[in-house]
Amino acid sequence: MKRKIKSKIILNAVVLLLMMIIIIVISIFQVDQINNTLTTINDINAQKQRYAINFRGSVHDRSIRVRDYVLLPPGEERDSVLTEILELEAFYLDSEKNLDKLIRSLEMLTDEKETQLLKEIDASKIQITPYVTEIINLCNKGMEATAQELLLDVARPAFQLWLDRINAFIDYQEAKNNDLTNQARSIASNFKILMLVIGTVAFCTGIFLSIVTIQSVKPLNQVAKALDDIAAGEGDLTAKINIKTKDEVGQVANNFNIFVATLHKIISVVKNSVEGLANASSGLTSSMDATQNALGKIHNNISKVTQQMGIQSEAVSDVSQSIQNINKNVTTLTEIIEHQTESVNASSQAVEQMVSNVHSITTALEKNEIQFSNLSQVSDTGFKKIAEVQEQVQNISVKSRSMSEANAVINSIANQTNLLAMNAAIEAAHAGEAGKGFSVVADEIRKLAENSSIQSKSISVGLKELVSAINEVVETSNILGHTFEDVRNAIDVVVNEQAGIRSIMETQQAGNMQVRTSFETIQKLNTDVHNGSLEMYQSSQKILKKTEDLVHITAEIDSTMTSMSANTQEIESSVETVVSLGKMTESGVKTVKSEIDRFIL
């Protein structure tokens, strides 16, 4: 399946972002559950338990005050006890009113058993209140014995039943708190395991996607190395890069293989053309040497003709033969020059083709440069996405620490509550018999504070493990960010290498233009030499005609020989120029061939 690097990077970021969202949603849900549980424990059940403890304290103290009222003689002290009984009853009614208000506001959260316990407590209150009133009335009438009998036989069991029912309600609330505590612990434990699993999956997913991305850009190293070899002028033009992907990197590697194949073809054509040009230059040099020798002989012959004017008739046949040889040599020279011209034209066409191919390579490099620029932009986008994910995880970590601080505050409140309970117990002990009821209340508050402290510690341990899991996710995100940074740096290195190759291609194109200009100069010189050879051929024809008419124009031979000598010197000068140019061409061809041989074809 063809998948671009941009898609891979976006997929990587999306997967990690989804992992973060899942962690955030689950964290919010689990913490909300724990918060609801703690709210139920502290704000609902503990409140009910507190009002029930007030009930118990009021009932317990009232039973003691009723007993004291019966036992004390009439007087100020008995009136004080009656006042305390009325105050305790008012305290009970106030707590009952508050409890009833709380239950009505939480009607959906009150179960059937709790309602039944409250009804039983209310029934005990309704049952005992008339007895207390009757006992007080009997005592006021002076019937203490009857009041004491009513207290022991009826009121005392009723008070005991009332306290038992209140204690049952308190124990029921304690049991509900224990169940909720176990639920909170279970949620925290499951949350810890879930965070470890999700964190491990996120870590493994990030590592896997990073490895896939790195493997996708790995062929760029081969491209960079091959380009370095080509830029140094000693590259292996037969080497190919193994393409395993169809993304941008695969396209770059494929374009590089096409580029190397095209360059191999160009260098091969140029090499063959240079070898042909070298052979032609060598042949031209040999021909020019032969021409120089022939011209030397012609010059000597002309000198002899001039010196032997007296024996002109005998040398006419020799002169005629020499002129014919000149014609043959000129014809041969003309053919050689034409062959050289054809070779130079072919070499010029090869150079033109090489210039065109180098231009095509430069254009391909420009396209690759645009693709690498797009790839760099995509890497920057992926790097920014990873930074955003890291920032979100940091925010989660900060919120987790806030939760730890809130839990620490709860623990501190529990410790302070425990300390207050201890102080209350000490004060109750100092109060003696009168503080027993308050001592019971203080003991219940101390138990409640201890339970809250234990629960707070359990939650603190769970939150610490949560923070540890979040920190591991943060560390994984940082590793992934560094991986994206390495990928982006590798892309920048390849872009710089390609820019260097482009500069080299531009320099090569300028050199090719110079070679093309040199070949145009050679073509012009070949044309001049060819024209000179034609003129020489025409002159030799004239000489031959004059030689045939030599018997009739003996008087004109001297001037004709002088003219021929001058023409021969000009020809020698032209031939020397051609020889010099041929040697320069041969030297240039050897240089080009040496440079081409540096490549492996």
Considering the domain boundaries, does residue 301 fall inside one? yes
pLDDT at 153: 94
Give the best-scoring range by mean pLDDT among 46-50, 413-417, 509-513.
Answer: 46-50
- Work out the pLDDT band at 548, boundaries 50, 70, 90: confident
3-class DSSP string for 459-484 = HHHHHHHHHHHHHHHHHHHHHHHHHH
**CB neighbour list of residue 328: distance below 8 Å, 6 or more residues apart:** none
Residues 40 and 167 in one domain: yes
Domain count, the chain: 2
pLDDT > 60? residue 494: no
pLDDT at 81: 94
Considering the domain boundaries, does residue 22 fall inside one? no
CB 181 within 8 A of CB 455: yes
Compute how many other C-beta atoms are within 10 angstroms of the C-beta atom of residue 456. Answer: 20
Query: Does 265 or 508 have the greater pLDDT score?
Result: 265
Helices (H) then strands (E): counts for the chain: 11, 0
CB 4 within 8 A of CB 247: yes
Give the best-scoring range by mean pLDDT among 138-142, 352-356, 548-552.
Answer: 138-142
Considering the domain boundaries, does residue 344 fall inside one? yes
Query: What is the longest distance spanned by two Cα atoms in the chain?
Result: 200
Residues 39 and 155 in one domain: yes
The pLDDT > 70 percentage for the chain reads 63
pLDDT > 70? residue 518: no
- Work out the pLDDT band at 39, boundaries 50, 70, 90: confident
Residues 99 and 156 in one domain: yes
pLDDT at 84: 95
pLDDT at 349: 78
Give the best-scoring range by mean pLDDT among 165-179, 344-358, 521-535.
Answer: 165-179
Residues 262 and 116 in one domain: no
CB 596 within 8 A of CB 271: yes
Residues 227 and 365 in one domain: yes
Residues 119 and 264 in one domain: no
Considering the domain boundaries, does residue 429 fall inside one? no
The C-alpha atoms of residue 150 and residue 211 are separated, in whole angstroms, by 89
Residues 183-201: b if buried by 16+ CB within 10 A, e if exposed:
bbbebbeebbebbeebbee
Residues 276 and 375 in one domain: yes
Considering the domain boundaries, does residue 443 fall inside one? no
pLDDT > 90? residue 236: no
Residues 227 and 168 in one domain: no
pLDDT in tens, 49-62: 999 999 999 999 99
Considering the domain boundaries, does residue 202 fall inside one? no
CB 9 within 8 A of CB 382: yes
pLDDT > 90? residue 138: yes
Among residues 69, 65, 52, 201, the alpha carbon closest in space to that of 114 is found at 52
Considering the domain boundaries, does residue 147 fall inside one? yes
pLDDT > 70? residue 332: yes
Residues 129 and 262 in one domain: no
pLDDT > 90? residue 148: yes
- Work out the pLDDT band at 312, boundaries 50, 70, 90: low
SS3 18: helix
Considering the domain boundaries, does residue 132 fall inside one? yes
Question: What CATH number is associated with residue 68?
Answer: 1.20.120
Residues 181 and 228 in one domain: no
The C-alpha atoms of residue 302 and residue 337 are separated, in whole angstroms, by 25
pLDDT > 90? residue 245: no
Residues 333 and 274 in one domain: yes
Residues 156 and 85 in one domain: yes
pLDDT in tens, 349-388: 765 776 676 577 578 667 767 876 776 676 677 667 767 7
The C-alpha atoms of residue 271 and residue 590 are separated, in whole angstroms, by 11
Written as one string, the DSSP assignment of 402-430 is HHHHHHHHHHHHHHHHHHHHHHHHHHHHH
pLDDT at 543: 58
pLDDT in tens, 204-233: 988 887 787 777 666 667 667 776 766 665
Residue 323, domain extent: 221-232+247-307+318-382+499-596
The C-alpha atoms of residue 446 and residue 457 are separated, in whole angstroms, by 17
Among residues 571, 573, 564, 582, the alpha carbon closest in space to that of 534 is found at 571
Give the best-scoring range by mean pLDDT among 162-166, 286-290, 468-472, 591-595.
Answer: 162-166
CA 395 remoteness from chain centre: 21
